[in-house]
Structure 1
Amino acid sequence: MRGSVSYENRISYSMITKKLNEWYTAIKDNLDEKAERLKKEVEGLIGGIDGNLEFIYYHQLLDFRHELMLSHLKSKDGEEINNAYETLKEHEGHLNGMLDYYYFFFKGMYDFKRKDLVAAISAYRRAEKSLEFVEDEIERAEFYYKMAEVYYYMKQTYYSIDYIERAITIYNKYETYLDKIIYCNYIIAGNLIDLLEYEKAMFKFNEALKIAKQIKRDNLVAISHLNIGICFNVGGMFEKAKKNLIIALKFFEKEYHPYLIKTLFNLSHVMCKANELEKGEFYYEKGFELALNTDNSEYIAKFNLLRGLYLNQDCFDLIDAAFEFLESNEMYGDVDEFAFEVGEVLLKRGEVARSSKYYQKVVMAKKQIQKGEMINETQIDNLLISHTHGGGVFSNN
C-alpha cells in the first residue's frame, strides 16, 4: 500500500536515528575514535534506506560536522571539509526544522574556521531562527557557546558574555560536562582581558586549569597553560608567560596539536617583547616553517609582523602586508591589538610620525568593531531564500 511503512522499516529507521544521534554526540564530545566507529556503522545502515531525504541530509550534515571535528583535533587538510561543504551547499534553502538549524549552525563553524567572522555570525544568527526546534538543552548550550566564541573574536564583548552565561548555566546542571565548563571559562576570561580585568581573567584561567587536572584531561591542562601564558604576556609579566607557554609547548609538540602553531607564535612574541631576540628568532623559525607547511595564512601574516617589528627591525613592508591581511579578513580585534603594539614600539624608538600611522589603524579598528552589529536582519534572511522544498522536522529524540 502506497505510503505505508513496514514494521521492519520502522525498526530500521529507529536504529539509524539512534546511531546518527550517537555519532553526533561523539562528534560534539571530540571523541574522534568513537565517532569514526559510529560513522562506519551509520554508513553501513544508511545504504539500506531508499528515498528518505531526511536521513540522507542528516547523514551529510553530520559527515560535514565530523570533518570539522577532525580538522580541529588533528590539523587535517581542509580539502575534505571543503568538499563536504560543497555537497551540503546544494541543499541551502531546501531544509526545514532541525535540519535547517544544523545546516546554518555547521556553516557558521565552517566560516569561523576560515576566519570569515562576518559570515560566521550571519550563519549562527540564521541558525538561531530555527533554535525553537532544538529541544535538547545541551545542544542549545553548544549553540550559545559558539555564538559567544565568535562574538569574542569580533570583540563584541557584552554579546559574548551574554551568550556564554547562557551556555554555562546549562552545563552547570550536569556533572558530566566539566570539559565544556572549562571552555566556557576560557571565553569568559578572554572577554575579561578585553575589559582589562586581568586578575579576574587569571582567576578563570586557573579555575579551568584546576578542573582540567581534576578530570585528567592533559590536552585541556596544556590549553589552560597556553591561555595563562597569553594572559601574563598581555599583562607584561614575561617570565611567568614563558613558563606557562613552555609547559603547553611540550605537550603540543608531542601530540602535534593544532594549537602548536599558536603556542610557538606566542613564545616568539613574548621573547621579542622581553628583548630576548635570539630566543624569539628560534621560536619564530619553528613557527613560521610550520605556518608555511600547513599553508596557514593567518600565522604567516602574524609571524611576518613579528619579524618586521622585532627581528628585522623596521621592515615596514612585512608589517604592512600583515595588516593588509588582517584588515582584508576583517580581523579587527587583531588589528586593534597589534597596531597599538606597533605604535607603542615605534614611539619608544623615536619614530613619532610613523607611529601615528598605526595609532590611526587602532582608531579605524575600534570603529569597525563598533559596527559589529551591522549584520542586520535583512542580511541574515537573505541566507535562506526559500523553505518550500523542506523535508519536515527531524527530531533528535
Structure 2
Amino acid sequence: MGKAVASQEVANMLNDWYILMKKRDISRSIEMKDDIDKAIEVMEEDQDVLLYYQMLDFRLRLLLEDISQSATEKLEAIEFHDNDPKSTDDKLNYYFYLFKGIYEDYKQNHTEALNFFRIAEKRLGAIHSEIEKAEFHYKIGVLYYNLKATWLSIHHINIASGIFQGYDGYAKRVINCKMLIGLNYIDQFKFSESEALLNEAIQKTEQIGDLYLLPYTYYNMGFLKSKEDKHEEALKYYNKAFAIHDFESKAQYAYLLCVYETVRSLLKTDSQEKAFQWMDIGFKKCREMNSKIFDLKFKILHTLYSSDQNKMEMIKDFVHELETEKAWVDLEELLMDVANYYKEKKLYEEAIYFYIKTDKASKLAGRGGE
C-alpha cells in the first residue's frame, strides 16, 4: 500500500475542482473527479475534507442535472441532502476559503493563510452545525499558534473545546485542544502548565489507544523538553513517536517536524553522526512533500556543521531565501541555533550578525510576518 496523500493536498485539488465548476467547465470537472476519487482512496483521515468532497460531488451533479436533465443517479442518493443551490454555494464558498487557508498554512505561508481564514470567518453564518463551527475555531487557533499569536490562539481553542465537550463522541478533539493550549503555553514560557496538559493528553490518548493521535502527543512533549533544553528527554519522546506504526505515512507533516526537532536535539547533545543520518531522512521527506522551507532549514543545519570553507556565505544565502518566503517563525529559533554555534566557537563577529538577524525575525514573527 502506498503512502497516504496529505488531506491538505486533496483539499487543494477540491478547490481547483470547484473553480472548474464555477466556470461551468463540465468536461474537465468530470475528468478531474476521477483523479480526486483516486486521491481520496489513499488520503489520510480527514472528515472535513470528505464533507467538502461530498458537497462538491453534489454540486457537480446539480450542474449535470441542469445541463442534461438526465442524471444517471438520483440526487437523493447523495449523503449531502441540501438541494437548494444557493444554500449549497454559500457553504461551498465558506469551505473554499477555509481550505485555501488550510493549504497555505500547510505550505507554511501563514500570512496568506490568515487572509483566507478571515474571509471564511465572514461566511461562517452559512454553517449551522455547532461542531463545524468548533472545527473552524480549532483550525484558526492552529494558525494563530503558528503565527505566535498565543492569546488569540487560546481564545479560539477555548471556544472550540467548549463546543466539543458538549457533544458525545468528540473526546479526541478535546485532547487536540488540550495539546494546542499546551503548545501555546510553551511560547508563553509556562512550562509547568504546558507539561500538565501534555501529560494529560498522553494519558488519555494511551487509554483510548488512538495510534493516529498518539505520536502527536509524544512529539509535543518532546518539543516541550527541547524548549527546556532537556534534549536527552526530548529524544526519548521523539523516538516513542517514531515507534508508532504508520506515523510517517499517516501524518507526514508531523513526521517531518519530528525529524527536524530530532536533528536539532541530536546536534545539541554532540551526536553529530546520528544527526546527519536523520538529516538525510529529512531531505528525502522534503523532496516527497515538496517542502522548500524545511529543505532550507535542513540545509542551514547541514552546512553549519559541515567542513565547508565558505559556509558562512552559504548560510547567509539560505537565510535570505527563508526571508524571501517570510518564514519568520522558522527563522527565529534556527537563527538562534546558528548564532549560539558561532558564539561557542568564539567567532563573535559571525555570532553578532546572526543574533541581529534573530532579533529581526522575532519581531516580524510577533507581528505575524506583516
2:332–2:365: 8 Å Cα contact kept in structure 1?
no
> Quick one: which amino acid aligns to residue 278 of structure 1?
E
Q: Residues 370-389 of structure 1 correspond to what in structure 2 (within 5 A)? A: 370-372=366-368
In structure 2, do the counterparts of structure 1 residues 235 and 373 end up closer, same or farther at CA, with 3 Å as the change threshold? closer
Q: CA deviation at 1:49?
A: 5.2
- Which range is displaced more, 274-283 or 311-320? 311-320
TM superposition score normalised by structure 1: 0.69
- State the distance in 2 between where 1:236 and 1:131 align: 42
In structure 2, do the counterparts of structure 1 residues 179 and 360 end up closer, same or farther at CA, with 3 Å as the change threshold? same
Partner in structure 1 of residue 338 of structure 2: 342
Partner in structure 1 of residue 65 of structure 2: 50
Partner in structure 2 of residue 218 of structure 1: 211
Partner in structure 2 of residue 106 of structure 1: 99
From 346, 352, 355, the equivalent of 2:348 is: 352
- State the distance in 1 between where 2:59 and 2:140 align: 34
Q: CA deviation at 1:45?
A: 9.3
Q: CA deviation at 1:274?
A: 0.7
Q: Residues 22-171 of structure 1 correspond to what in structure 2 (within 5 A)? A: 30=46, 35=50, 46=61, 50-51=65-66, 97-171=90-164
Partner in structure 1 of residue 258 of structure 2: 263
- State the distance in 1 between where 2:137 and 2:261 align: 28
What do the CA deviations read for 1:147-198 (whole angstroms, capped 9, x no partner)? 1111111111111111111111111112311111222222212211111112
Partner in structure 2 of residue 394 of structure 1: none
Partner in structure 2 of residue 278 of structure 1: 273
From 182, 195, 214, the equivalent of 1:189 is: 182
2:94–2:124: 8 Å Cα contact kept in structure 1?
yes
Partner in structure 1 of residue 5 of structure 2: none
From 317, 323, 327, the equivalent of 2:319 is: 323
> Quick one: which amino acid aligns to residue 220 of structure 2?
N
1:304–1:318: 8 Å Cα contact kept in structure 2?
no
From 289, 292, 296, the equivalent of 1:297 is: 292
User: What is the DSSP-based 3-state SS (H/G/I as helix, E as strand, rest coil) of the residue aligned with 1:219?
Assistant: coil
> Quick one: which amino acid aligns to residue 238 of structure 1?
H
Query: What are the ranges of 5 or more consecutive residues in structure 2 without an aligned counterpart?
Result: 1-42, 68-87
What do the CA deviations read for 1:199-237 (whole angstroms, capped 9, x no partner)? 211222211112211222112111111111111112111
- State the distance in 2 between where 1:337 and 1:255 align: 24
In structure 2, do the counterparts of structure 1 residues 31 and 120 end up closer, same or farther at CA, with 3 Å as the change threshold? closer
Determine whether 1:230 maps to 2:223: yes
2:55–2:92: 8 Å Cα contact kept in structure 1?
no
The alignment-based identity, stated in percent, is 24
- State the distance in 2 between where 1:154 and 1:47 align: 39
Q: CA deviation at 1:298?
A: 2.0
1:301–1:321: 8 Å Cα contact kept in structure 2?
no
In structure 2, do the counterparts of structure 1 residues 373 and 172 end up closer, same or farther at CA, with 3 Å as the change threshold? farther
Q: CA deviation at 1:114?
A: 2.1
From 198, 208, 214, the equivalent of 2:191 is: 198
Partner in structure 2 of residue 393 of structure 1: none
- State the distance in 2 between where 1:28 and 1:218 align: 13
- State the distance in 2 between where 1:290 and 1:253 align: 15
In structure 2, do the counterparts of structure 1 residues 355 and 201 end up closer, same or farther at CA, with 3 Å as the change threshold? same
- State the distance in 2 between where 1:350 and 1:248 align: 36
Structure with larger RCO (C-alpha < 8 A, sep 6+) = 1
- State the distance in 2 between where 1:127 and 1:262 align: 27
In structure 2, do the counterparts of structure 1 residues 144 and 40 end up closer, same or farther at CA, with 3 Å as the change threshold? closer
Number of residue pairs matched by the alignment: 305
> Quick one: which amino acid aligns to residue 51 of structure 1?
D
In structure 2, do the counterparts of structure 1 residues 313 and 249 end up closer, same or farther at CA, with 3 Å as the change threshold? farther
